[in-house]
């Protein structure tokens, strides 16, 4: 599975979970212990809002604090749809994956940034589905591919506040369970 296919699947998975949220669900706790459903969706919407600017060559200073705070407004579902569509279109632009992107820790290949965004969307899809008592929207092929991508990064991410340390799971655990456990979630 290539990056653009994986990215599309992860974005759709998160979007499906966002669309499943009812009016009484936005205050529910998520596996991200400090976040409610609304906080989690706000985080992902803000990430999507950054993508078009970063992929077009903007620096963090260029974007500034535009996407700080509440970016959901009165319609979190519409905020997600709009931001996700713009981010997806930016990733699909010709040649964009051959560029470099300015991130907080320096200039990185756009392809690496794309995988980071894909991993985050997929894992948070699981978080959101768990908070809403829905089945995981992360498919086994997507999870298998993301495990291969993420495994070399996990040790480097420890202590940065990105993900909790990996959680042990049994040998019979499926790919989605292994992926979320690798990123510090306690699978259900």
Concatenated DSSP letters of 57-100: T--HHHHTTTT-S---TT-HHHHHHHHHHHHHHHHHSTTGGGSE
So what CATH class is 3-134? mainly alpha
CA distance linking residue 171 with residue 161, whole number of Å? 27
For the chain, 188 residues long, give each residue's pLDDT as a single digit of tens. 999 999 999 999 999 999 999 999 999 999 987 899 999 999 999 999 999 999 999 988 998 888 999 999 999 999 999 999 999 999 999 999 999 999 988 899 999 999 999 999 999 999 999 999 999 999 999 999 999 998 887 777 665 556 777 778 888 899 999 898 888 888 87
**What distance in Å separates the CA atoms of residue 18 and residue 133, rounded to the nearest whole number?**
13
């Amino acid at each position: 599975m290539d990056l653009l296919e994986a990215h599309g699947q992860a974005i759709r998975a998160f979007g499906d979970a966002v669309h499943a949220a009812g009016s009484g669900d936005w205050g529910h706790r998520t596996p991200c212990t400090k976040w409610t459903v609304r906080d989690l969706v706000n985080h992902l919407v803000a990430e999507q809002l950054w993508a078009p600017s970063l992929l077009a060559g903007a620096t963090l200073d260029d974007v500034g604090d535009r996407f700080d705070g509440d970016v959901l407004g009165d319609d979190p579902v519409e905020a997600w749809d709009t931001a996700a569509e713009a981010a997806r279109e930016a990733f699909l632009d010709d040649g964009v994956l051959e560029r470099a992107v300015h991130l907080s820790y320096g200039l990185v290949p756009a392809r690496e940034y794309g995988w980071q965004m894909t991993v985050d969307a997929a894992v948070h899809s699981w978080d959101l589905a768990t908070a809403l008592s829905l089945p995981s929207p992360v498919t086994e092929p997507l999870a298998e591919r993301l495990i291969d991508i993420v495994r070399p990064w996990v040790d480097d991410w420890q202590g940065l506040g990105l993900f909790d340390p990996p959680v042990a799971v049994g040998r019979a655990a499926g790919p989605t369970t292994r992926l979320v456990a690798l990123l510090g979630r306690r699978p259900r």
